[in-house]
């Protein structure tokens, strides 16, 4: 929505919220109505991002709507229950979401006579910020959702339904109808029991040694357990997913050369198919089956979602709401950002800035088959960055058994009993991606096929795009960084202010899940709350050390640098 349309919509209070520009009456907006920043999405595009199915099959749709919370008679989908897990409630729902699903959940099309509920990208990449009674929606921002707690709550609700006769009768009445026959109800109970066992299996494979809490998950650990353990059916391939990472922010990522915290992905479609397989999607890896390689991942829908993300703009600091940027201070901060000091590289050497025309340092067009350029990101070796190494090491150094897929692996890996996990993941996810493309309706045109893979194809005679260094973490441009707390790849630093402190002076314990924004330190306020999570940086995978840049600045310089970061 454009700003000029705002006056017409304020009187009615749009069902999908309000676009935030410079309206003088922001304080009068009802707090539950999100103020949408102008990130170049229309309301229709935003709703499409929130609720487009991508091939995730969590639970039959009718079951989810009929399910009650474990210890209450309220629906599991009740907003109060959903907020317990940090997911966003679609308060002013539209025709795209008639059943008031949480943001990032979708109704999957009917399969074998039944519609299902599944995840979408938006569940992990949409967030709200609260400030002085107002709620600001940031599309593409890291969510503060607790994936593990949600699964535990869903399993508890299913158990409660199975073990309480009155509760099951209410559930069956809603799913089958009040006058359904006893045989149908018994069959439903058996189906619920079977699915609960399956979902508990997923939860057990995804269970960390120490809780991730709000806003984090070991994404690669979960994906690998599902592909190597469940789909490939090799139990010894399952490893405890103990290296949590924050959900990355999305704006700009389609234009980057490599993505993921460890820079392991370059093909956006392969990355997105892998994400589906880690969130209740499936791929058939039984080589004796005529359905080998078939997957639930929806190529056409993933393509459209990636197109949306390609158009998503960074969130700009809303001065009328969060306070004016001190431009003189920001200018001094820019000097600090771009100048090397004490023998170290400048911030801009790793986190590049655009030039006067808005372009970032990019790859040369002549190396790409389509003449497309990508924003260069920088891979910082673990020894240099000094941040918690567990995520990068778990991914790069993991070895897995190939199981019954060994005979069909491409040369020179055919019949290999063990392979590095990144290699086998690339092969198996690639198999799923190829089959998903073949099943897409309507079929992809040649131009769409090039766009689908993000134009990641080298010019003739050049080696393919390959991750430069898996034992490293990626440094990307910091556009919109103010809206992405907490910081570092594992979310172990509460604010940008603390990130500029020596590691020993950073909070060793803080609370995550509160959405109240601290506009001075640029992060969320740490305070105990009913649904908050106590993050202890002493636990494995949670270290807040490393990234020792700016630690020698004085308080005035830190303030200047923070003011500049607000402008990005």
**pLDDT tens, residue by residue, 92-140:** 667 788 999 999 999 998 766 789 999 999 999 999 999 999 999 999 9
Phi, psi for residue 566 in degrees, rounded to 5: -65, -25
Most confident residue range from 19-23, 86-90, 409-413: 409-413
More confident: 23 or 147: 147
Confidence of residue 196 (pLDDT cuts 50, 70, 90): very high
Please, what is the average pLDDT of the chain?
92
Q: Which helix (H) or strand (E) holds 110?
A: strand 105-111
pLDDT, mean of residues 372-392 = 96
- Which whole number is the average pLDDT over 177-206? 96
Please give the Cα distance from 489 to 390 (Å, whole number): 11
pLDDT, average across residues 145-158: 97
For the cut 50, the answer to whether the pLDDT of residue 4 exceeds it is no
- 7 pLDDT band (50/70/90 cuts)? very low
| Tally of CA atoms within 13 A in the half-sphere of 124 that contains its CB | 21
Name the token pair of 469.
């260094």
Please report the pLDDT score of residue 72 as a whole number.
Answer: 84
The answer, yes or no, to whether residue 67 has pLDDT greater than 70, is: yes
The H-or-E segment that residue 330 falls in is: helix 327-338
Pair 363, 454: CB distance under 8 Å: no
201 sits in the region (left: phi over 0; alpha: psi -120 to 50; else beta) called alpha
Residue 8 has pLDDT above 50, yes or no: no
pLDDT of residue 21: 44
Specify the pLDDT at position 93.
65
Query: 3-state secondary structure string, 53-72?
Result: CCCCCCEEHHHHHHCECCCC
Per DSSP, 487 falls in state B
Give which of 97, 49, 1, 46 is closest to 304, Cα–Cα: 49
- What's the pTM? 0.91
**1 pLDDT exceeds 50?**
no
| Model confidence pLDDT, tens digit, residues 263-290 | 999 999 999 999 999 999 999 999 999 9
Residue range 349-361, pLDDT digits in tens:
999 999 999 999 9
Q: Tell which residue, 414, 413, 420, 422, has the closest CA to residue 399.
A: 420
Structure confidence at residue 92 (pLDDT): 67
Rounded to an integer, the average pLDDT of 474-500 is: 97
- Is the separation of the CB atoms in 90 and 517 below 8 Å? no
Q: What is the pLDDT of residue 112?
A: 65
């Amino acid at each position: 929505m454009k700003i000029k349309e705002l006056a017409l919509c304020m009187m009615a209070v749009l069902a999908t919220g309000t676009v935030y520009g410079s309206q003088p009456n922001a304080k009068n907006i009802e707090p539950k109505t999100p103020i949408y920043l102008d990130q170049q999405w229309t309301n229709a595009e935003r709703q499409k991002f929130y609720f487009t199915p991508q091939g995730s099959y969590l639970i039959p749709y009718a079951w989810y709507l009929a399910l009650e919370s474990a210890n209450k008679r309220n629906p599991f989908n009740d907003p109060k229950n959903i907020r317990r897990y940090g997911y966003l409630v679609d308060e002013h729902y539209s025709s795209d979401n008639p059943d008031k699903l949480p943001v990032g959940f979708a109704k999957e099309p009917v399969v074998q006579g039944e519609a299902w509920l599944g995840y979408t990208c938006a569940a992990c990449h949409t967030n709200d910020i609260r400030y002085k009674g107002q709620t600001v929606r940031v599309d593409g921002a890291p969510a503060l959702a607790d994936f593990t707690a949600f699964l535990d709550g869903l399993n508890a609700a299913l158990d409660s339904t199975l073990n309480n006769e009155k509760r099951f009768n209410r559930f069956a009445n809603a799913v089958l109808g009040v006058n359904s026959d006893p045989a149908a109800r018994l069959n439903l109970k058996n189906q619920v029991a079977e699915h609960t066992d399956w979902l508990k299996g997923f939860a057990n494979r995804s269970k960390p040694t120490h809780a991730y809490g709000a806003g984090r998950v070991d994404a690669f650990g979960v994906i690998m357990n599902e592909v190597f353990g469940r789909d490939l059916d090799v139990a010894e391939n399952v490893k405890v997913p103990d290296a949590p990472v924050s959900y990355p922010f999305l704006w700009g990522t389609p234009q980057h050369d490599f993505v993921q915290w460890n820079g392991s992905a370059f093909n956006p479609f392969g990355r997105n198919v892998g994400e589906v397989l880690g969130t209740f999607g499936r791929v058939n890896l039984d080589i004796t089956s005529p359905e080998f390689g078939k997957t639930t991942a929806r190529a056409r829908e993933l393509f459209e979602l990636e197109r949306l993300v390609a158009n998503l703009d960074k969130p700009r600091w809303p001065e009328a709401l969060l306070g004016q940027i001190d431009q003189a201070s920001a200018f001094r901060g820019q000097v600090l950002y771009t100048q090397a000091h004490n023998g170290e590289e400048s911030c801009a050497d790793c986190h590049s800035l655009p030039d006067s025309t808005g372009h970032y340092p990019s790859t040369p067009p002549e190396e790409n088959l389509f003449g497309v350029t990508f924003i260069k990101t920088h891979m910082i070796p673990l020894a240099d960055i000094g941040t918690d190494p567990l995520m990068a090491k778990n991914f790069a150094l993991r070895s897995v058994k190939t199981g019954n897929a060994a005979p069909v692996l491409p040369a020179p890996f055919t019949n290999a009993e063990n392979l590095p996990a990144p290699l086998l993941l690339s092969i198996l996810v690639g198999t799923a991606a190829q089959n998903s493309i073949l099943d897409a309706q309507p079929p992809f045109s040649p131009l769409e096929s090039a766009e689908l893979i993000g134009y990641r194809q080298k010019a003739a005679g050049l080696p393919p795009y390959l991750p430069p260094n898996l034992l490293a973490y990626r440094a990307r441009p910091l556009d919109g960084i103010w809206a992405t707390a907490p910081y570092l790849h594992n979310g172990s630093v509460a604010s940008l202010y603390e990130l500029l402190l020596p590691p020993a002076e950073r909070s060793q314990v803080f609370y995550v899940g509160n959405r109240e924004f601290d506009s001075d330190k640029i992060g969320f306020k740490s305070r105990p709350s009913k649904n908050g999570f106590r993050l202890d940086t002493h636990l494995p995978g949670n270290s807040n050390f490393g990234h020792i840049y700016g630690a020698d600045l004085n308080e005035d310089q830190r303030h200047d640098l923070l003011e500049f970061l607000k402008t990005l």
